[in-house]
Structure 1
Amino acid sequence: MGLTRRAFLLSAGALGSAGVTGTALSGPEAEVNVKIWFTEQASDHVAWNRLRDHVQRAFDPTGKLVAVEFGGTVETSSENAYELVTGGEWPKKLAQGTVGGEAKPADDVNLLVTARSMYEFPTGAGIPHVASVGGAEALANLPPVEDCPDVVGWSDPAYALQVLLHECGHALGLDHEDGYMEPAGDELVVSPMVSGYPWESDEVKEQQFDTQQGTCGCEFVDPEGRDPRLMLTFSECERERIREYDGGYAPW
């Protein structure tokens, strides 16, 4: 299925985050804990085991011992993933221990999945240790991980997964410059930390993606009509940044 420029503009969006530093780790069992929570509406859509397998696959090549865990269901005032982070509701729930149930926040990544459509901009946000993303219905339609290549053409489920990984990256301190892109004929391969930004308006790119080259040296080019090819694992540069992650202070 092809992707129109308008469709990608409507479905792309993320919030950058500052780097994460420190030495605190999640515990002896894992170097990085990724805990995924769902709003009450999102819990009706997401097939947890399949999503966990995809997220685990994305992190496995980093060489870090990563545990992907179920957090639980969270009551929220809205399904707007971006505002739940930037407005403070989701970080506050984690900090105050009001996420519900017995599950405790993870020290590394606490990702909240909402039922908001991926075609409602912006689609998510990520700050140190905290992230949220929409697309629960699309994520529920992910194929089994064994049936899904590492690089795929655009689809709602693949795009929702890539944005989810994008926000996890921000929660671990990664920036957009850590991403990767490469032209491939009439397509442009993009890694999670780049995602839909090449297809965004000049105004959005100037505000959130004002860079010409990745930290590992790849050129960030204009798509020039190319369709996206989405990487569903982290690029080598992104993996290196994740390897460098060394915990960090989490206020809970």
Structure 2
Amino acid sequence: MGLTRRSFFLSVAALGSASVTGTTRREPETEVNVKIWFTEQAANYDVWETLRGHVERAFDPAREGVVVEHGGTVDASSENAYELVTGGEWPTMLAQGSVGGPTAPADDVNLLVTARSMHEFPTGAGIPHVAAVGGAEALADLPPVEDCPEVTGWSNSAYALQVLLHECGHALGLDHEDGYMEPVGEHLVVSPMVSGYPWESKDVREEQFDTDRGTCGCQFVRPDGRDPRLMLTFAECERERIAAYDGGYAPW
């Protein structure tokens, strides 16, 4: 999951924004550019075309224009997505122009997908304009976007996609409080910025998801035996934050 310690976000904000992309503030209606890169191991999975469709669908209701591009293959030292961000390797590669592929880093989201299993935690991380997530094998099992509902039950592929969107949200400045959840019968519906946190241990929740209410007013509750229903598009409050994104980064 994404980083939650605000001090860490602030300490790496310069590396994640100006140093990486040279981004300047612009009008919110400008297109958002998401560039997806793959480690050499992750590139062995046939995931790009299907993944692009899912990311485009997730962002389209939130933003008038979104461009999702293939960044290329990256020679990373590890498949641990979380450590590649928090240890500085992935942000540094972007800042120094040492990434693979024919194109430069994107202005908005530079996402690295690795082959690390989604059963190994932490699963990913996101800082301003920079994110990484595991789960290439699981993402390769996603059905085409036209065959996949926007809200679905738990599966490895759906969870991997939701965490991927979660880290993209962090890269655009969203936090966990921007997420949404709602008990519906025997299910608990969760949006990308909430994702699997309600089902995590008490220690993990207290350290990384210590909040009772979303910024749009929804109550954050315990599952109490309810099964997860995963939203594969952003919820209304998340969409509002993405729509207001102007190319810079500031905590909401």
TM-score w.r.t. length of structure 2: 0.89
Runs of 4+ deviating beyond 6 Å: 19-22
CA distance in 2, matches of 1:96, 1:165: 25
Aligned to 2:228, the other structure's residue is in SS state: strand
Question: Counterpart of 1:166?
Answer: 166
The alpha carbon displacement at 1:204 in A equals: 1.1
C-alpha displacement of 1:24: 3.3
Two-structure CA RMSD over aligned residues (Å): 1.9
In structure 2, the residue matched to 1:94 is 94
**Shift in Å, 1:207:** 1.0
Mapping for residues 227-238 of structure 1, pairs under 5 Å: 227-238=227-238
Q: Which residue of 2 aligns with 1:151?
A: 151
Which residue of structure 2 aligns with residue 10 of structure 1? Answer: none
Larger RCO (CA under 8 A, 6+ residues apart): 1
Pairwise CA distance, 1:172: 0.1
* Secondary structure, counterpart of 2:70 in structure 1: strand
Give matches, 1:76-115, under 5 Å.
76-115=76-115
Q: Check whether the contact 2:32–2:63 (CA below 8 A) recurs between aligned residues.
A: no
| Farther-moved stretch of structure 1 (194-203 vs 33-42) | 194-203
Describe how 1:202-221 pairs up with structure 2 within 5 A.
202-221=202-221
Residue in 2 aligned with 1:15? 3
Equivalent position SS for 1:61: coil
**What is the CA–CA distance in structure 2 between the aligned matches of 1:46 and 1:207, rounded to whole Å?**
35
Inter-partner Cα distance in structure 2 for 1:247 and 1:46: 31
Residues matched between the structures, number? 235
1:127 corresponds to: 127
Counterpart amino acid of residue 15 in structure 1: L
- How far apart, in 1, do the equivalents of 2:166 and 2:200 lie? 16
Hey, what's the Cα distance between the residues in 1 that align with 2:46 and 2:172?
A: 23
| Paired amino acid for 1:185 | G
Percent of matched pairs sharing the same residue: 75
Shift of 1:63: 3.0
SS in 1 for 2:33: strand
TM-score by length of 1: 0.89
